[in-house]
Structure 1
Amino acid sequence: MTWNPYWYDLDQTVIVGDVDYFYLDKDEKSFANGGASDDDKEVRAEILRVIHPELGEVLGILANGLSYKIYFSDSKFIQVDSEEKPGWIEYPENYKVNDWVFDVEINVLEVTGFTSLMR
């Protein structure tokens, strides 16, 4: 399943081991990041793994506020602007990532029957 950012604090946080409610597109191929919609579906799921083609396996993506943080198992992180220059790496300096699409493995525990617009 893909996690593709819309930036501007419109994305879902995904952290390995987290069990929470998430919004997926109707065919369950990607996270329904962006604004509230009746074109998505709510599930209760566990995040099993988060992988990026350039960064490798990460512990999670904290997608809150004006900067997102991507955490690694060695306690390092990347801080990325999500508002003024979406995708621009604020920390560490001189770090480059070409694409921000992640592959996220989840275990769906429940399909609630709701959409993000209904919530």
Structure 2
Amino acid sequence: MTINALWIPAWYELDPSIVVGVTEQFVFHKPANNETLRFYSGAKAGDAVKATGAIAAIHHAVLGAIESVDAQGLDYTLVLQDGRRLLVNAQEEPGLLYEWVDDSWQPSEIGIADWRLEVKFATLSPLSPM
């Protein structure tokens, strides 16, 4: 059984980094009744829960399959499954997108209105309090 979670960025270095194939402990917002599991971003107060799991896939509606999201620093780096690298501003203009082209970061023409990512877990332990 595959378990899904949403990664919805709050930007400003508040989001977790995620990588396909990695097994580690993750922190989530405590889900309400039948609510989709959401990675904890520190964006709003509330109870957090933790679980250990293995990420099987990361998907974005426009970008498609994603291999990794490095959410460290003022810009987030995304590596797509097709090998493209994207840089997303996470501080001054959150969501502003750049592509690695000709050995430098160039403004991207890709328009992203919704940055939520669907993350599929191959395994995920039961949720437990922090």
TM-score with structure 1 setting the length? 0.84
Identity %: 25
1:1-119 alignment to 2 at 5 Å? 1-27=5-31, 29-34=37-42, 39-91=47-99, 92-95=106-109, 96-106=111-121, 107-109=123-125, 111=127, 113-115=128-130
Greater strand fraction, Structure 1 or Structure 2 = 2
Q: Please, which runs of 5 or more residues in structure 2 have no aligned partner? A: 100-105
Structure 1 stretches of 4+ with a deviation exceeding 4 A read 35-38
Report the Cα offset of residue 40 of structure 1: 1.2
Larger radius of gyration: 2
How far, CA to CA, are the matches of 1:37 and 1:97 in structure 2? 27
Instruction: Report if aligned partners of 2:63, 2:80 keep a CA contact under 8 Å in 1.
Output: no
Report the Cα offset of residue 35 of structure 1: 5.7
Report the Cα offset of residue 71 of structure 1: 0.7
What is the DSSP-based 3-state SS (H/G/I as helix, E as strand, rest coil) of the residue aligned with 1:59? strand
Instruction: Report if aligned partners of 2:58, 2:117 keep a CA contact under 8 Å in 1.
Output: yes
How many correspondences in the alignment? 114
Q: Please, which runs of 5 or more residues in structure 1 have no aligned partner? A: none
